[in-house]
Structure 1
Amino acid sequence: MQRTLALLRPELGEHRVLMGGGIAALLAEVVFRVLEPWPLKIVVDAVSTSLGADLRGGPAPASLSLLLVCGAALVVITGLRALMNYLATVAFALVGSRASSALRAKLFRHVQALSQDFHSTNRSADTVQRIVTDVGRLQEVAVTAGLPLMANLLTLVVMFVVMVVIDPLLSLAVVVAALLFLAGSKSSTKKITEASRKTRKGEAQLANTAQESLSSIKVVQAYGLEDHIAGRFSSANSKALKEGVRSRRLAAGLERRTDVIVGLATATILIGGGLRVLEGAMTPGDLVLFTTYLKTTMKPLRDMAKYTGRIAKAAASGERVADLMDQRSAVVEARRPFLPERVVGWVEFDHVTALYGDHPVLRDVDLTIRPGERIAVIGPSGSGKSTLVSLLVRGMDPVHGEVRLDGHPLTSLELNRLREQVSILLQEAVLFTGTIRDNIRYGNLLATDEEVEQAARAAQAHDFILAQPEGYDTAVGERGGTLSGGQRQRIAIARALLRDSPVVVLDEATTGLDPAASADVLRAIERLMEGRTTIAVTHDVKVALAATRVVWIEGGRVLFADTPERLAASNPTFRAWASAGEGDRDSIRVGATT
């Protein structure tokens, strides 16, 4: 809970005035709570006097005017208490909503800034749950549990002082009840918190299983895996249910034990107070007042038991949010980054070594790419080719050596400015929910509709876009599922053309496409590469032969690099790779051919 409060403190600090108003309303409510039983005490004592009772202090006998005044006072006090409670609730709800919204936005920006190492090893559904559900739970508990507890604890302190003034001896019952509650709740609270933590982990596993299945539904259905995946989901669901029931059972047990403690304290006051009235040490009105205060004073104990489960869930959620905020990106922007005015596209990998975890994927790679040059990076799968792409946009940083753009180390450049200079075309073209026009415009958010359509024409996409039901305003499904692979790729190329960056990276951009779609995409890629420094990670022979230089990477090292013509004439490995079928190229390695 301390970590949770540390997360919320900066966000709450921006709403000091609103919080101050809420606290003032809360204090006023406590005052009216203290005053609320007094009209009843006055009436009971006045009626007792009228019936002949000789009471301590000789209160005035009952009269119509006294009864009317006390009744009106009770209505006014109750109304004002309700108003103060309303104002405090609204104030704290506003603070909670604004603070949680700010925290959620801050957390989302933080996650977006984390390096690709984090995103490749963490489940996206769990991360989304932390951002949305866990932060929301902090807000819910702050309003539904935190505010009532704060009010009741203030009331407990004030009313206990009043009870001591009325009768110090009877007030000891409140002290004993509070001590019994604290002794009984200590172990239960720890168990409830642990059960809530396990419940949240189980719910995160549920979300991961559902997200993985639904995002791969074509494979699940094609291989008949529905029952297997449903079994995994049911197993995780049962585990989460078991811990959830355990948490609720523990909380219910604590509530019922608290009821017994409150009942014992009330019985003690009833017996002791009755004796004190018979002795003349207090009036019947004092006993009514004392009993009413006891009921109100015991409310925090009931609420502590009632809200322990919610607070435990909030603590578990806060812990998960804090864990996510504690993640640190391996990619850090320079304190005073350099912003180049113009980039021509001179790329250098200077004796670069890169790791994934503890596993080296690139070893002492030394490669210079001149502006406008087209490089094809080929070699066996898993040899480190795609790592070059991550290094170039600082998705990760090398552990040794340096990557430079136009002579500037990438670590010295402003991160956003660096990434503006590189357009990446991946094997799976990623489209976002929205229209086709919106997806192309992501290359340049300030582009006009005319510029969007010019980019689509250059990417060989204009004709098929117009054939869609609503043309450029056609909404695409999740991840572009309503379009073919070739169509998605050409939209991605149009987006890259609109970006107009000096460096283009193609990461297996034609893999998995049929010959017709591949031909359309290659024509669009040709337009994209014009005048730009291009790095193409590929298994496509046509892409490699069209390059100005071919670089073979194997085992994380550059084993040879030359023009495709010279390699075809002198290098048996490259000749075997170029003549092999699509499915065999990946297995060809240096030294395996003669």
Structure 2
Amino acid sequence: MSRKESPSETLPTLRHVLSRLYPYMRPHRKLLGGSLLALLAATAMKLLEPWPLKFIIDRVVPSAAGEDPATAALAPMTLLALCVAGLLAVIGLRALFQYLSTLGFAFVGNQVLTDVRADLFRHLQSLSLGFHARARAGDLTMRLIGDVGMLKETAVTAALPLLANVLIFSGMIGVMLWLDWRLALLALSPLPLLWLLSQSLTRKIRTVSRKQRKRQGELAATSAETMSGIRSIQALGLEEQVSAGFAGANAKDMREGVEGKRLSAGLERSVDLLAGVGLAVVLWFGTLQVLRGRITPGDLLIFVSYLKHTFRPIRDYAKYTARLAKAAAAGERVVAILDEVPLVADAPDARTAEPFVGRIAFQDVSFRYGDAGLPTLAGVNLILEPGRSVAVTGPSGVGKSTLASLVLRLHDPSEGRVLIDDVDIRSITLSSLRAQICLVPQEPLIIRGTIAENIVLGAGREVTPAEIEDAARLANAHEFILEQPDGYRTEVAECGATLSTGQRQRIAIARAALRDSPILILDEPTVGLDRASEQVVAEAIWHLARARTTILVTHDLNLAARADRVLVLDDGQIGEDGSPSDLMSSGGKFAGLRGGARSSREADRALAS
């Protein structure tokens, strides 16, 4: 059963969101102040709007009939002209001030939330892999695009009108109390009932809005997962099953949306009904007051006009409540990400790394994912000499990729430390650490753009066409690139869908060649390749690895056998360590597996068994 919300829950939530976003607003204080002054001026003009008509009824009409000696000095038509001109001036000024306030608040709101979205995107990239392992990519996209967009829209379409309504509401009540406090209290008597009704219904609206926002995040996550796995879905014939699940969630979102509209409409109509009751009471007792000479007909006109506008903010509050509730839910989701603290971050006294020689040391390193479970690595002690290559192999799940990720500080050790050139890598900045390490992952990043743009991605410097071609030649990619329709200028589809697995891997190797980093990490670079592509990629790998400290994570025992050194991990510890020839002659696990495996695929199966 869902938790019941207190009636005042939205305001604290919005206050928390606004306080978190205030640093983004600080540079725009002057424009915000000017926009607020324009809003106050527009409110004043709104309060003055019925007064020219009051003068016409109280002064012009009696004067024209010879009944008002107080205005005998002015001709009735002159008074009428002045009142009409005053009305036009008030309406014109109100329109101008409203335009200026709306424009100012819209500019600040859009600028602030554009900055928030940029920082949110940057912050998402800084969050640790553990966070991204728990999160759903579609839901994060929904927060980045949909929730920030909701805050942008609400700032202009709900928050600003609501603020204006509050000012108008307060001003009109003040004027009515000044004109006749007894009639004012009578006119406003339905307000307590309206307040109780609005609190009851807005609580329900907030609950529905939050559910709907969460549901929309789940829909975005489901659709993103479906699109990314469309090949497998089609191959397995799961279209109907996946569509049925999406349709069910979509239908729930529709029902929650309709329920929210029903509650809002019910509140609006209740306000209209009670406003009608209040207006009838004012007309009855106000007319009696006019007949008794306690107020003028113009005063009654002011009351009637104000009363219609006094109940409008409450009616509009129902309309804006749903938007504000959605904004509160969206703001919570955005702030929750901004408040997320990266597990891996620069230390306060972190310094820029000196150029690496490439000596890597693991000292009593243990690592576990989360707080529970057995460690993935346990007490690893290891030294990798500069310019040498080490292949890390072993069954799946024994910590091979984790070992490599600790060098990049994608994770920090649970215990122990990792050093490069005798310096703890936690004492240097992440940017200067990763700038000197190059990673060729199992699934390389391929962006939408040209092949040349993908090769220079991450180079961090200006690159000439000749350098791009040299890197492609080193990666054995030049020939297949020339076979493309536009060569190096050929546009690549999203995620490299127009390239084969081997071609994508060779582009990643060419990218690594351009970075010219002293440390190279390759994580399962030949997985999923056919035999011919394996050989081409393997040659490219060893061309790239020359004179670099290279960590090669692989199941391919034939590829591992070409390294200077082989580590066989077993249950998070180093089971075997030595040159390929020494391990083969020792007759250990590596020798047995490689000797019995005629191909890398058989080696993969042997290691996994």
Q: Which residue of 2 aligns with 1:185?
A: 198
Equivalent runs, 1:274-353 vs 2, <5 Å = 274-353=287-366
Q: Which residue of 1 aligns with 2:235?
A: 222
Correspondent of 1:97 among 99, 107, 110: 110
State how far apart, in whole Å, the 2-side matches of 1:67 and 1:166 are: 23
Shift of 1:541: 2.2
2:563 to 530, 547, 553: 547
TM-score (norm 2): 0.94
Please tell me the root mean square deviation across aligned C-alpha atoms, in Å: 1.8
Equivalent position to 2:538, from 512, 515, 522: 522
Aligned-pair CA distance for 1:572: 3.6
Aligned residue for 1:149? 162
1:170-201 Cα offsets, whole Å, 9 max, x none, are 11135433322221111211211111111011
- TM-score, length-scaled by structure 1: 0.96
Q: Distance in 2 between matches of 1:12 and 1:575?
A: 65
Matched-pair contact (CA < 8 Å) for 2:64–2:76 = no
Once the two structures are TM-superposed, the CA of residue 54 in structure 1 deviates from its matched residue by: 6.2
Task: Give the match for residue 549 of structure 2.
Answer: 533
Instruction: Please report how far the alpha carbon of residue 405 of structure 1 lies from its aligned counterpart in structure 2 after TM superposition.
Output: 0.8
Per-residue CA distance 1:337-382 (angstroms, 9 max, x = gap): 1223210111111111111122321111111100011101011011
Structure 2 counterparts to residues 45-60 of structure 1, below 5 A: 45-50=58-63
The 3-state SS of whatever aligns with 1:506 is strand
Q: How does 1:171-182 map to 2 (within 5 A)?
A: 171-182=184-195
Letter in 1 for 2:565: R
Q: Which residue of 1 aligns with 2:575?
A: 559
Distance 1:573 1:193 in 2: 62
1:227-265 deviations in whole A, cap 9, x for unaligned? 111011111111211222221211111111111221121
- Which among 197, 206, 209 is matched to residue 222 of structure 2? 209
Residues 1:22 and 2:35 aligned together: yes
Q: Secondary structure at the match of 1:176?
A: coil
CA distance in 2, matches of 1:94, 1:202: 30
Matched, 1:132 2:148: no
Among 363, 385, 395, the alignment partner of 1:370 is: 385
The correspondence for 1:473, drawn from 485, 489, 501, is 489
1:589 Cα deviation (Å)? 6.4
TM superposition shift of 1:539: 1.2
* Contact preservation (8 Å) 1:45, 1:59: no
* 2:80 matches 1:67: yes
CA pair 174-333 structure 1, distance change in 2 beyond 3 A:
farther
Match of 1:36? 49
Q: Which residue does 2:448 correspond to in 1? A: 433
Range that drifts further, 61-70 or 231-240: 61-70
In structure 2, the partner of 1:412 is 427
Q: Is residue 390 of structure 1 aligned with residue 405 of structure 2? A: yes
**Superposed, which structure 2 residues align to 1:492-503 within 5 Å?**
492-503=508-519
CA distance in 2, matches of 1:274, 1:467: 91
Residues 367 and 378, structure 2, Cα contact 8 Å, conserved in 1:
yes
Judge conservation of contact 1:163–1:290 (CA < 8 Å) in 2.
Answer: yes
CA distance in 2, matches of 1:247, 1:269: 33
Q: Does the 8 Å CA contact 1:137/1:314 hold for their aligned counterparts? A: yes
Query: Where does structure 2 lack aligned partners over 5 or more consecutive residues?
Result: 1-13
In structure 1, C-alpha distance between the alignment counterparts of 2:600 and 2:247, rounded to whole Å: 41
Report deviation, 1:584: 4.6
* Paired residues of 1:372 and 1:532 also in contact (CA < 8 A): yes
- Letter of the 1:414 counterpart: T
- Once the two structures are TM-superposed, the CA of residue 475 in structure 1 deviates from its matched residue by 1.1
Aligned residue for 1:356, secondary structure, equals coil
Read off the aligned partner of 1:554 and give its amino acid letter. D
Question: 2: CA distance between counterparts of 1:448 and 1:174?
Answer: 79
Which moved further from structure 2: 455-464 or 138-147? 455-464
Q: Bigger CA drift: 287-296 or 441-450?
A: 441-450
- SS state at 1:423 partner: strand
Compared CA separation, residues 547 and 347, structure 1 to 2 (3 A):
same
The alpha-carbon deviation at position 311 of structure 1 amounts to: 0.6
Residue 445 of structure 2 aligns to a residue whose secondary structure is: coil
Any conservation in 2 of the 1:346–1:370 contact (CA below 8 Å)? Answer: yes
State the AA in 2 paired with 1:222. Answer: A
**Distance in 2, Cα, partners of 1:331 & 1:385:** 20
Q: Name the % identity.
A: 45
* Distance in 1 (alpha carbons) for counterparts of 2:505 and 2:232: 21
Q: Are the aligned partners of 2:557 and 2:603 in contact in 1 as well (CA < 8 Å)?
A: no
How many residues align? The count is 590
Residue 396 of structure 2: SS of its match in structure 1?
Answer: coil
Q: CA deviation at 1:295?
A: 1.7
Deviates more, 1:440-449 or 1:482-491: 440-449
Distance 1:315 1:195 in 2: 12
In structure 2, how many angstroms separate the alpha carbons of the residues matched to 1:25 and 1:589? 73
Q: CA deviation at 1:428?
A: 1.4
Distance 1:292 1:58 in 2: 25
Separation of aligned partners in 1, 2:190 and 2:101: 29
SS at match of 2:533: helix
Q: Following the alignment from structure 2 to structure 1, what is the Cα–Cα distance between the partners of residues 559 and 536?
A: 13
Answer whether contact 1:25 1:87 (CA < 8 A) is retained: yes
Shift in Å, 1:53? 9.0
Deviations 1:538-560, CA, capped at 9 Å, x for gaps: 01123211111110111111111
Deviation of 1:51 (Å): 7.0
Structure 2 residue corresponding to 1:251, chosen from 260, 264, 277: 264
Q: State the one-letter code of the partner of 1:561.
A: D
Q: Which residue of 1 aligns with 2:4?
A: none
1:31 is displaced (CA, Å) by 1.3
Aligned to 2:6: none
Selected match of 1:570 from 586, 594, 598: 586
Q: Which residue of 2 aligns with 1:513?
A: 529
Contact 1:435–1:472 (Cα < 8 Å) also in 2: yes
1:299 deviates by: 2.1
State the distance in 1 between where 2:116 and 2:607 align.
51
| CA positional deviation for 1:582 | 4.0
Name the stretch that deviates more: 294-303 or 410-419. 294-303
CA distance in 1, matches of 2:201, 2:90: 38
Query: Which letter does structure 2 place at the counterpart of 1:438?
Result: E
Letter in 1 for 2:415: H
Runs of 4 or more above 3 Å deviation:
50-55, 57-62, 581-590
- On the 8 A contact 1:576/1:588 being kept in 2, the answer is no
CA deviations 1:191-229 (Å, max 9, x no partner) are 111111110111111111111111111111111111111
Return the match for 2:416 from 401, 405, 429.
Answer: 401
Q: Cα distance, 1:527 vs. partner?
A: 1.3
Matched, 1:485 2:498: no
Q: Which amino acid in the other structure matches residue 556 of structure 2? A: D
Structure 1: which amino acid aligns with 2:120?
L
1:422 corresponds to which of 418, 421, 437: 437
Paired with 1:287 and 1:373, the residues of 2 have a C-alpha distance of 94
> What one-letter code is carried by the residue in structure 2 that aligns with 1:171?
A
- The alpha-carbon deviation at position 586 of structure 1 amounts to 4.3
Secondary structure of the corresponding residue to residue 295 of structure 2: coil
Secondary structure at the residue paired with 1:224?
A: coil
Letter in 2 for 1:490: R
Bigger drift between 444-453 and 142-151 goes to 444-453
Task: Name the SS of the counterpart of 2:376 in structure 1.
Answer: strand
Mark the CA change 1:62 to 1:197 in structure 2 (over 3 Å): closer, same or farther.
farther
Give the drift of 1:448: 2.4
Task: Mark the CA change 1:346 to 1:361 in structure 2 (over 3 Å): closer, same or farther.
Answer: same
Say whether 1:3 aligns with 2:16. yes
